[in-house]
Structure formats: C-alpha cells, structure tokens
Structure 1
Amino acid sequence: MGEGAYWIGIGDIHDDTRGIDRLPGLGTAAGVVITGDLTIRGGAAAAKAVLKAVRRHNAVILAQIGNMDKADVDTYLTGEGVNIHATGRVTPQGVGFFGCGWSTPTPFGTPSEAGEERIAAWLTAAHAAVAHCPHLVMVCHTPPYDTATDVIGGGTHVGSRAVRAFIERVQPAVCLTGHIHEARAEDRLGKTTVVNPGALAGGGYALVRFDGRQLDAQLLSFT
C-alpha cells in the first residue's frame, strides 16, 4: 500500500460480512473506519457480529451507526470504545477522525433518522473534538447534497444540505460517506475529497493515506 499510514473505509455492510475477508491490506492498516449501516434494522447483537468479523483482521476500529441501525447499536459502539458519532479522536499518526451517523429522513421510516439541524449540530460537536488537528477525516453516513455521492436513479440528489455546507466551511481533507448504495463515487468539494464506496457487498472500499504531511483518499474495489 506504499509508505506512510493508511486506513480502510467501508460502510453499508447490512449484516453481510463476507466482503470483509476479501479487503486487501486490512491486517496492516492503521485502522478500519465504518461509516454506518452495520445492520439491517438490527441491534447490538448484529453489530457485534460485524465488529467480530473486522477484528479477525484488525483490532483498531472507528465506527458509527447509520439510519438502518437501531439506537442500541450506538450504545454498543460506545461501550466498545469505537464510536465516533458526534465526537472525534486523533490517532497516534496525527489524523483527526470525526463522525456523524444516522441519516436525514428517508421515505422508508428507518430506525435512525434526523433532520438537517440535528445533523449540523452533531457535525459541529464532532469537529470540536478534533478541531485542533490540521489533518482531518470527516466520516458522515449521509453524503453531501448535489455531488456524485448522493445520486439515486433518475439523477435525483438526496444528500444533506447541512453536510455540504459543513464541508464547504470546514474543508476537511477527506469525507468518507455512504448511505446511497448506487452512488458509489468520488467527488470534490473545494479541498475536500468525498468518497462513497457504496455497499460492502458490491466490493467497494475507500483507502485513506497519510504520509505525515497530507491526507488523500481514493475509491477502490476488491472485485
């Protein structure tokens, strides 16, 4: 994977952990970042199975719930010491990861949905935990509005305006996102590289690299 540290970003696992064993470089990554939707309307037991599958390869995990995960998954992730929803942490390599799980409202009445104002508040709180760090990775389950990462069939953009506004204002180096499976893509908003690897079952993942001076990210596939 080259010089420096790197992290593997995945999401929208939806209880299907088979792809985890196929992710290249997982064992030597500085950590694994899960952007949300570990389960399909599942609780802590289902999320535990996902973390167990990752930990077979790598013990360092940063994770948060998506809209398809029940509230007790958030509690479980906190108990495991891996939750980055509405908070953040600086890694030993000097990279600040901060997160916002859940999603903006959907037509499907999924377990963990929130309005734009709440999403914005969570992002502000998460960023505050790592704002002192010059190298930032934003992990947001809901993609920013009007990008390649939030498009559904017919070309409709369904991402969050609050997420887009936050990226435009703060300009983290990288935004890892998910939620919209069909919008597996890379895009840029100013200085921010936005990556949505899609559902893990589709073979997509993000690779975040840090050489000690700058961060970059790219969309890759194991299929």
Structure 2
Amino acid sequence: MKILAASDIHGDLYAADALAKKAKREKADLVILAGDLSIFGNGLEGLLKPFKDAGKKVAIIPGNHDSEADIFMLKRRYSDTIYDLHNYSFKIGDIGFFGCGLANIGPNELSEDEIRDRIKASYNYIKGAKKKIMVVHVPPYNTKLDTIRKNMKIGSTSVRDMIEKIKPEICICGHVHETFSLEDKLGNTRVINAGPKGKIIEI
C-alpha cells in the first residue's frame, strides 16, 4: 500500500492542490493529513476539493489550530472522500489505521491522560489488524521530531508511551515546523513528521 502523508498545510489551497497532484502522480492509495489543516478554521473552504477531484480518499485528524467542529464540517461536506481518524479507526485490507488529533499544548489542548485514552480507544477497534498505522498531530516526546529552539522538547509523553506499548509499524505526526520531513525510530516503529510537502510511505 502506498500512502501520501502530510501535515500543517494551514489552509494553503496551493499546498492542497500540490499534494493532490502528487497523490495522483505517485498513485497513492490513501492520503493522510495529520492535523493543522486550517488556521483556527480559516482556509477550510475548498481545501479538500483537489483530493476529491483526483479521486483520492483522505484520512484526517485536527491539529491544535483546528477544532473538532472543523473536522465535523469537513466530514459533512466531503462524506464520500474522508476517513475521520480523530478518536476513530478503520481498516483497509490487513492494515489498521487509528489515531487522535489536537495537541498537548496550545489552543484546543488535550491533557496527556486524554491523549492516551483516546489513542487506546481508537486502537481497540483495529488491534487484530496485521499491520498498524498510528496518526497523531503532536510527535512523541524526546525524539528527533519534537525538538525546537535551544533543544527544547515539546512532544507528548502519552504518544511515546502508546507507541512503545502498541508497537505500530508507522506513526505519522506533524506539529513541529522545525522538524518537517524528518524521521526517527522508537523500537521498530518508524515515526515520521510528514510536513506540508508530504511524504510517500509504503507499507
């Protein structure tokens, strides 16, 4: 399976169009947008239309610049295009996808306990899947992906804890602009900060 993963497009219609074209060119089976689709709800109008026009299914979660209401609106408008991964899960073949959006700091904040509980709840529905992909907005704590200025770590301890317990094949995240497109590993799990230009992932 080929996935185009991206994050933090912040309502940029040009970025969305470029990603849809990349998904079509690369023959991606699924697009994943790991949060911060908008700037506090601004920029959502028409944001997913390029993917619909390209015939691509899109799995989405909210970031700290989105709200759960924003995701609900997109689900209603693009019901034939979207998989909602915020506290939900789904399977394609033998691959299970699960996740939780928002972040542990800033607007639309979740506590670490809430993040852990939501990831666990969404995982429970696909735990029998042969392969698993976890989608979150905030990266796991103390990795290459959560480092900002002066070596400050802003990742989620709960995301890290759940990766170490569940051991998904892949964890897709975003949030930290300084580490877009970087990868790290926690055990055997590939952890990828997808970024707005997108990354092709094969599983």
TM-score (norm 1): 0.82
> How far off its partner does 1:42 sit?
0.7
8 Å Cα contact 1:98/1:139 also seen in 2: yes
**Amino acid of the structure 2 residue aligned with 1:90:** K
Distance in 2 of aligned mates of 1:96 and 1:48:
29
The residue aligned with 1:215 is none
Identity of aligned residues (%): 30
Distance, in Å, in 2 between the alignment partners of 1:180 and 1:85 is 19
Supply the AA of the counterpart residue of 1:41: F
- What is aligned with 2:65? 68
Distance (whole Å) between structure 2 residues aligned to residue 89 and residue 161 of structure 1 = 25
User: What letter matches 1:65 in structure 2?
Assistant: P
Report what 2:177 is aligned to. 181
The letter of the residue matching 2:185 is R
Distance 1:48 1:175 in 2: 28
For residues 156 and 15 of structure 2, what CA distance do their matches in structure 1 show? Answer: 28
Q: Do the aligned residues in 2 keep the contact of 1:86 with 1:122 (CA within 8 Å)?
A: yes
Partner of 2:200: 207
Q: Secondary structure at the match of 1:76?
A: helix
What is the SS of the residue equivalent to 1:182?
helix
Gaps of 5+ in 2: none
Give yes or no for contact 2:29–2:56 (8 Å, CA) kept in 1. Answer: no
Matched with 2:137 is 141
Residue 176 of structure 1 and its aligned partner are, at CA, apart by 0.3
Distance 2:152 2:22 in 1: 35
Mapping of residues 1-223 of structure 1, within 5 Å:
5-23=1-19, 25-27=22-24, 28-42=27-41, 46-79=43-76, 80=79, 81-91=82-92, 93-106=93-106, 110=107, 112-184=108-180, 185-198=182-195, 200=196, 203=197, 205-210=198-203
Deviations 1:162-209 (A, max 9, x none): 0001101111000000011112210000010000023x1xx3x22221
Partners in 2 of 1:48 and 1:54 — Cα distance? 13
The amino acid across from 1:102 in the alignment is: L
Deviates further, 77-86 or 58-67: 77-86
> Residue type matched to 1:21 in 2?
D
Shift of residue 133, structure 1, vs aligned partner: 0.1
**Gap change, CA 1:77 and 1:124, over 3 Å in 2:** farther
Asked whether the 8 Å contact 1:31–1:60 carries over to 2, the reply is yes
Q: Deviations over 1:134-173 (max 9, x none)?
A: 1101001010000011111111110000000110111100
Other structure's SS at 1:18 match: helix
Task: Find the residue that maps to 1:20 and give its secondary structure.
Answer: helix
In the alignment, the residues of structure 2 paired with residue 48 and residue 128 of structure 1 have an alpha-carbon distance, to the nearest angstrom, of 33
2:94 partner letter: G
What TM-score do the two structures reach when normalised by structure 2? 0.90
Q: CA RMSD in A?
A: 1.6
1:48 Cα offset (Å) = 4.5
In structure 1, list runs of 5 or more residues that go unmatched: 211-223
Distance 1:41 1:141 in 2: 15
Match in the other structure for 1:221: none
Matching residue's letter, 2:89 = G
